[in-house]
Structure 1
Amino acid sequence: MNGYDVTDIVFVVSVVGEEHYLGHSTDLSDIAALSRRAWSLFPSRVVGDRSIDLELPIPGRSGSRRIGKMNDADVSKQIQQMVRFIRQEAEEKANEISISAEEEFNIEKLQLVEAEKKKIRQEYERKEKQVEIRKKIEYSMQLNASRIKVLQAQDDLVNSMKEDAAKELLNVSHHHHILNVTHHDHEYKHLLKELIVQSLLRLKEPAVLLRCRKDDAHLVESALESAKEDYAAKANVHPPDIIIDHKVYLPPAPSHHHAHGPSCSGGVVLASIDGKIVCENTLDARLDVAFRKKLPEIRKSLYGQVVA
């Protein structure tokens, strides 16, 4: 009877001093069947005296102990005790399995929860970074737009100042068309002579072509000889030949009728005879040059800083 486990209940029937092994099991239904089989195989009318020896497992030990010869009542009582023992063992085992399963479930659940929390935190951090980047981009765009508006407003103010200055230039050359000979007319004639001398000093040509506005032609002709003498004295050369171009004049002064067309506020343009060298010395050209040179000072005066 070495083929059974230490937890099995072994049925052995003793008949007239001889032992008969019937089986072993831990299942309740198998135990009851083995008990019935023991009594049915050896009835008292055939055998006479009969008894059943049981080998019970010893709890917590490897091995078993044999219970002595028992009658029907003792066997039934012993079986009930074995049933309670087996049930208690089964309940304890089931409880252990339940506790172990619960612990494994809680561990796995905690791992899953922590993994999902980590995913959620990572997703939140990713979205938070995206929001921060969008905020920075929007802030940068708004800041650039504000700077552009400020620069545009500054440029508009500077351009309006230039336009006002261009309008003031008309007062330099406009009144001599209305009055005949005035103090203002004399001043503009002197200005034309100085512009011619300055252009001659730039060109340093023995012969030049001069262009002016049609309305200024008579003033230029009257100032021409004086301009030649001044240039000759300053450059220590012979007076140059100055040819006034009566075919092509400079545009007239700006007016409401020609607001979008070419215009000239006054002054002269001198060029070499071959036309390769040109000196534009009109009032508009001088305003542009002066405005470009003075622009940093103008901006600093208006806004307190030099804007590149």
Structure 2
Amino acid sequence: MHTLAPKTPGWLDWYEGPSEPTFRLPAGAVDTHCHVFGPQAEFPFAPQRKYTPCDGGKDQLFALRDHLGLARNVIVQATCHGADNSAMVDAVRSAGGRARGIATVRPDITEAELRELDAAGVRGVRFNFVRRLVDTSPKDALHTIARKIAPLGWHIVLYFESADLPELEEFFASLPAPLVIDHMGRPDVSRPVDGPEFTRFLRFVEHNDVWVKVTCPERLSVTGPAALDGEQHAYTDVVPFGRRVVEEFPDLVLWGTDWPHPNLTDHMPDDGLLVDHVRHIAVTEEQRHKLLVANPMRLYWPGEDV
């Protein structure tokens, strides 16, 4: 047995007592953005990782799924595991068809290795451009990966900071696979929702038919959760951004919890409140069904009834 590494100093553990959501999710709702951390004793973290988290394994993830009223998960490879997808694949395989995976792979991955991941339930790869989490994202290497996954019908999940979109959007548009953007491209929510920065992002989505995850208000918010008029309203400053994306692109939006919420330094969110946040950004039943059920099923379980 290897020696377990201590958590990164100041690390915030995920919240073990999430509230019961007051918003009832529609039947078949999918969490399209979550992770598993280890457990470290079974699935060691990558030596080159930028952080060492607490454990957050498949059993805890599936318990949260059931508590919140979700039906399925899309498990995104956590950067603390590098390109060793063992923990993610194990979780997907253990879900009995109720999970899909997003992998991190290297350019030298073989066709046989990709087919094995596909058979396990992986449906895409993630390209990370957030400098505090990865050292480099060499574009030639990423193009090589994109060409290799294209025959499988996989997509590419993109994680970047909003300020970096102008220098990246031409590269993104050149990738030979469908694109999914994490967390609305991480907009600066202190700026106007109709300002030039977010408008540029929306036009990129429009011109390239890009899927968008309206996720992680807890990462984007300046105001944080707040109690207003006796009711708990979480992350109200993010609502106009999420609502605009849902209204403009109702058939291209996805939602997820981001459990177990890596690298947060301000507070750890209540996942029940994250579910309640949905009703503020998707205000009609039709919008909610597309966001939570129809869209993720079309992308991750095509051909299955919803």
- TM-score where L is the length of structure 1: 0.20
* TM-score for both structures, normalised by structure 2: 0.20
Q: Which has the larger share of helix?
A: 1
Computing the radius of gyration from Cα coordinates, the structure with the larger value is 1
